[in-house]
Amino acid sequence: MSDLLIYDVGGCEGCPLSILRVLPQLEERVHVSSKALGNLSLSRDYDYAVITGSACINEERVTSIIRRIREKAKVLIAYGSCASVGGITLFCRGGQRPRPEHRTFLPISSVVEVDYAIPGCPPNPTLLVNLLDSLEGEGGSRSKYFLSLFSRVAKEKKLSGFDLMDEIVLSGLCIGCGACVLSCPAHALHMVEGKPDLMPEKCIRCGTCCVRCPRFTQLLLRRPALSRGVV
Ligand code: SF4
Ligand code: SF4
């Protein structure tokens, strides 16, 4: 059985709590180590590590733990918007570019290479179960999609309602399905004349709308080929 480490580097605790909801399903698949279970160890190797929370790059203790987990894990998964794309913690520096005196919070991928990232505030934890199934070769026909999408998201430095507006709605790609509006945990999107509109002051930059939008996910999956001029 594979080994899975779950580690929270600091956040609201919503993501670790959401993972507890699927703990029985996880334990059917992998051996789980975490602080909540009382069996946390950073001195052994893991097949998979899940990090929740964003990286405070001013705190050496936090960045060294993230680097240590990266060394110990074959596959590193950023779980939740803070870990994946910074999320609401991006606002902790007061809307300015980082300076040494600011406590600056960034996605885990700003410190180490991340293999897969699942945004959401918190994400639906069954996404983590499905991703593990895919990694273990048990995910069926969805596996390729899951692995491709969440590895692409791990390469993104930011995803938000602003990106959804720019890349999908304002560029005319939106089909008006409303999935983004239904997925937004901050009620920052609403439909206006059949298309979503953003209330900027409500957006917490969680990126959930982007990974729920069928057009945005297509764009994410095709972006490497587009940037190489292949299509
Ligand atoms: S619009 Fe909503 S779902 Fe999209 S990034 Fe902002 S808060 Fe998250
Ligand atoms: S999910 Fe995407 S395609 Fe659907 S309404 Fe929102 S922006 Fe448009």
Q: What is the 3-state secondary structure (H, E, C) of 83-118?
A: HHHCHHHHHHHCCCCCCCCCCCEECHHHCCCCCEEE
Q: Does residue 89 contact residue 78 with C-beta atoms inside 8 Å?
A: no
| CATH code of the domain made up of 2-153 | 3.40.50.700
| pTM (two decimals) | 0.91
196-227 pLDDT, tens digit per residue, is 999 999 999 999 999 999 999 999 998 775 55
Give dist(CA 14, CA 27) in Å, integer: 20
| Pick from 95-99, 140-144, 185-189: least confident | 95-99
Question: Which DSSP category does 10 fall into?
Answer: S
Task: Examine the pLDDT at 56 and tell me if it is beyond 60.
Answer: yes
CA 171 to centroid of ligand 2, rounded, Å: 12
CA distance 161 to 167: 10
* Identity of the residue numbered 228: R
User: Cβ(197)–Cβ(191) under 8 Å?
Assistant: yes
Q: What is the mean pLDDT of residues 174-187?
A: 97
- 55-56 and 105-106 beta bridge pairing: antiparallel
User: Which residue has the least CA distance to atom 7 on ligand 1?
Assistant: 203
Q: Is 157 left (phi over 0), alpha (psi -120 to 50) or beta?
A: alpha
pLDDT at position 228, please? 47
- CA 223–ligand 1 middle distance (angstroms): 21
Q: Where are the alpha helices (DSSP H) in 80-213?
A: 81-85, 126-135, 143-153, 161-164, 179-183, 208-212
Per CATH, the architecture of 161-227 is what?
2-Layer Sandwich (3.30)
Order of strands across the sheet that contains 116-118: 30-34, 2-8, 46-52, 73-79, 116-118
Looking at residue 168, the DSSP 8-state letter turns out to be I
Higher pLDDT, 89 or 198: 198
Task: Give me the pLDDT at residue 34, please.
Answer: 95
Mean pLDDT of 123-144: 90
What atom in ligand 2 is closest to the CA of residue 164?
Answer: 7
Structure tokens at 205: 């930059």
pLDDT reading at 100 higher than 70:
no
Instruction: Compute the average pLDDT of residues 62-82.
Output: 97
Ligand 1 binding pocket includes 203 (Cβ within 6 Å): yes
Domain ranges of the chain: 2-153, 161-227
